[in-house]
Structure 1
């Protein structure tokens, strides 16, 4: 392992066979001009769970400066990757480009969550002027399996208030599970989700959830039980604090 700058990995002790890693940004957040890159490979039959110490924060950026976060994950045959970062909180005047590329070999398994919170509800904060570009790409054996993207520019609060967009939601999450038994989780999963979330099979072994919530508290209240179910009760401790 090689690490530098303010992006650190720590390895807590667990009582499971798989490795658990906590990603820590010692800078305390991301602002314009920051550049973060993370490359991780999970080997044959290896199992890795990666989470974050707490919610990540995208702070106000100077005019003309944009932060970037690029993550590349590779999972070899028989390997299992649980990519479970906690929420990204977007502050007003933030500017961030984020990209997640996941490459799976044919027999690899994946559980991925990406939660995003649109402003600090307790402040209360509105996102009157932000730049947020988010891209998620999952491939298997080089072929596209799941492609997603979001672009928010300017008054994101007004945009998200539109009924056909988010109907005023202040938080969201995307969840993807790639596993041969993914469909077995679907009936119990749907019983755990609120009316503002939906789960379906993208194909025979790819389960997808799109989740909207009023704020981060409401999101966690239903997202944590869903992730517990999908991870077979191996959700990292930092998610429960």
Structure 2
């Protein structure tokens, strides 16, 4: 895994190309989805909930991404709005010699909140996948983001056997980068399964902005007090990234353990959103 520089673009051949647009606005005390448009194979689902935030789940027609797929999402959260964006099931990436790509550009208005908590990404044998996420925060905006990556079909002998995975995440406020990182997992740098050792899942949780202040303080102190245990099934860390930001990282011996840990870190979401996204998930 490398975070020193962004990798070159994957050479993508013709496949399914999909664009999607989402916009959220605050109306009174609640947030509504003011725009939701997507081209196949992406679908946008807007379930009701009991809170003040608006929720959208993405799903793919078919079982996952195949060679040449290119997905693009433009997202706008207006001033004072609160939005949750998640997915229906894992993002599965199949054998793709020419590569697949996903790109998201999001704008979060003043005093607004974006919660981005998709299910894990799982790349199978021979998959080549590149994703980019660029988030622009206005003054006073907040962000909760979760990114989890898991090994392939381990029961079938697939363990970190994809051809290439890269994930670039950039968060900036008023032109200043708060977080700018790229993960790169490529066998050209050495066998991925050997480099990741016993771990079958890795993940990042990012908390930025005033809405996350108390959660950041609690998590930073809690993780800092954890003992170091040799050969632990889970290792994690917490690091400040700005005056109002915190990044949490974890590696786990199973995808289930990582997902449970990340959701435990985000256990404050029901009170923040007014409803529990994990209870509605599935």
TM-score normalised by the chain length of structure 2? 0.76
Count of matched residue positions in the alignment of Structure 1 and Structure 2 = 236
In 2, Cα distance between equivalents of 1:10 and 1:205: 32
**Contact (CA 8 Å) 1:55, 1:89: kept in 2 or not?**
yes
The match for 2:245 is 206
Q: CA RMSD in A?
A: 2.4
Does the 8 Å contact 1:33/1:66 carry over to 2? Answer: yes
Matched, 1:172 2:198: no
The 8 Å contact of residues 192 and 226 in structure 1, kept in 2 or not, is answered as: no
Tell me the SS of whatever aligns to 1:89: strand
Q: Which runs of no fewer than 5 residues in structure 2 stay unpaired?
A: 1-34, 228-232
Q: CA deviation at 1:238?
A: 6.5
- Please give the secondary structure, in 2, of the residue aligned with 1:122: helix
Distance 1:203 1:231 in 2: 25
Give me the whole-angstrom Cα distance separating, in 2, the residues matched to 1:212 and 1:144: 26
Structure 1 residues 14-36: Cα deviation after superposition (integer angstroms, max 9, x where no partner) = 00000011111113211220000
Cα displacement string for residues 200-222 of structure 1 (whole angstroms, at most 9, x for unaligned residues): 22222101101101121121232
Q: Is the 8 A contact 1:127 1:156 kept in 2?
A: no
Greater CA drift, 18-27 or 179-188: 179-188
- Alignment correspondent of 2:75: 40
Indicate the larger mover: 184-193 or 36-45: 184-193
2:55 maps to: 20
* Counterpart contact for 1:227–1:235, Cα < 8 Å: no
The yes-or-no answer on 1:236 pairing with 2:277 is yes
Contact 1:137 1:144 in 2 (8 A): yes
1:60-79 maps to which residues of 2 (within 5 A)? 60-61=95-96, 63=97, 65-79=98-112
Say whether 1:127 aligns with 2:163: no
Q: Structure 2 CA distance, aligned partners of 1:100 and 1:238?
A: 26
Provide closer, same or farther for how the CA distance between residues 192 and 12 of structure 1 changes in structure 2, counting only shifts above 3 A. farther
Q: Is the 8 A contact 1:31 1:60 kept in 2?
A: yes
Aligned: 1:52 with 2:97 = no
CA contact (8 A) 1:104 1:140 kept: yes
Task: Provide the secondary structure at the position in 1 that maps to 2:186.
Answer: strand
Residue number among 29, 38, 43 corresponding to 1:8 in the alignment: 43
Query: What CA distance in whole angstroms lies between the structure 2 residues aligned with 1:170 and 1:70?
Result: 25
Q: Which of 105, 109, 115 is the equivalent residue of 2:142?
A: 109
- On the 8 A contact 1:161/1:169 being kept in 2, the answer is no
Q: Aligned-pair distance for 1:124?
A: 3.3
Contact conserved, 2:209 with 2:245, CA < 8 A, in 1? yes
| Cα gap change, 1:106 to 1:38, in 2 (>3 Å) | same
Greater Cα offset, 145-154 or 15-24: 145-154
